[in-house]
């Protein structure tokens, strides 16, 4: 798992709610094999940090890489084309090493109610533009793109229970929705090499259990809450 706070699971209170953990367990159930999870994501990371993350991940010879990135590049005003270009280069580097890649594109930051208008509308447009460019760059490099902003973000509007205590990051229930969107593409990415036979019927996947997955955390520990203080710009997606 590579990327930003979504890859790390910032905002949850229980390790079982971490999106990478949930995704790994559901993948193990779907393919009928144990899954070893390595998380290289970093809270606050943008696409520029992916080069470092890939360099750390490749020695472990991953069977699949899942990347969720983009929100911090929006709040840091990185040009969308530049962020997407960096992501595309990352996908290409992994694919060149025989690693299938699934990318969760930038979520729609316009659904975050604490951000005032008209700034929220600006972030909606910016994140949508970035997500489209990310999908194009990912697919051109041989990866699989999952449009989180289109499939998942609309369901957050008017549902505060899907947000963490800070009102900006997802809660465990919110991350679960992203995992549900990512899982089919991750299963498809590894299905040919991990499981033989007919395609997995995702509707028949049994409930997630604690067995079949071992996790290892890399990098810094995740803080529980963002720093207190006045916000003078859109909060950085930590």
Catalytic positions, written as ranges: 5, 166, 169
Neighbours of 82 (CB within 10 A): 15
| Residue of 12, 24, 7, 22 whose CA lies nearest to 170 | 12
Report the side by side order of strands in the sheet with 144-146: 2-3, 65-68, 101-104, 144-146
Neighbours of 94 (CB within 10 A): 24
| Residue of 52, 63, 36, 5 whose CA lies nearest to 191 | 63
Distances (CA, A) of 149 to 29, 32, 156: 26, 30, 10
Could you tell me if 107 and 127 are in contact, meaning their C-beta atoms sit under 8 angstroms apart? yes
Could you tell me if 78 and 45 are in contact, meaning their C-beta atoms sit under 8 angstroms apart? no
Residue 79 in tokens: 């040009």
For 183, what's the count of Cα atoms within 13 Å in the CB-facing half-sphere?
25
């Amino acid at each position: 798992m590579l990327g930003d706070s979504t890859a790390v699971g910032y905002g949850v209170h229980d390790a079982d709610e971490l999106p990478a953990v949930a995704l790994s367990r559901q993948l193990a159930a779907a393919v009928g094999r144990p899954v070893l999870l390595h998380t290289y994501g970093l809270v606050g990371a943008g696409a520029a940090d992916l080069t470092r993350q890939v360099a750390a991940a490749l020695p472990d010879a991953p069977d699949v890489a899942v990347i969720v990135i983009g929100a911090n590049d929006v709040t840091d005003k990185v040009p969308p084309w530049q962020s997407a270009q960096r992501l595309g280069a990352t996908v290409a580097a992994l694919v060149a090493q025989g690693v299938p890649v699934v990318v969760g594109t930038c979520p729609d930051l316009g659904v975050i109610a604490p951000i005032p208008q008209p700034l929220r509308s600006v972030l909606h447009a910016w994140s949508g533009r970035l997500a489209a460019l990310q999908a194009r760059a990912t697919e051109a490099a041989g990866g699989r793109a999952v449009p989180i902003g289109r499939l998942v973000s609309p369901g957050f509007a008017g549902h505060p229970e899907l947000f963490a205590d800070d009102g900006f990051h997802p809660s465990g229930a919110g991350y679960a929705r992203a995992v549900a969107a990512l899982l089919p593409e991750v299963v498809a990415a590894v299905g040919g090499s991990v499981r033989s036979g007919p395609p997995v019927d995702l509707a028949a996947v049994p409930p997630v259990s604690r067995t079949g997955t071992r996790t290892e955390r890399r990098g810094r520990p995740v803080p529980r809450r963002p720093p207190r203080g006045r916000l003078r710009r859109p909060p950085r997606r930590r």
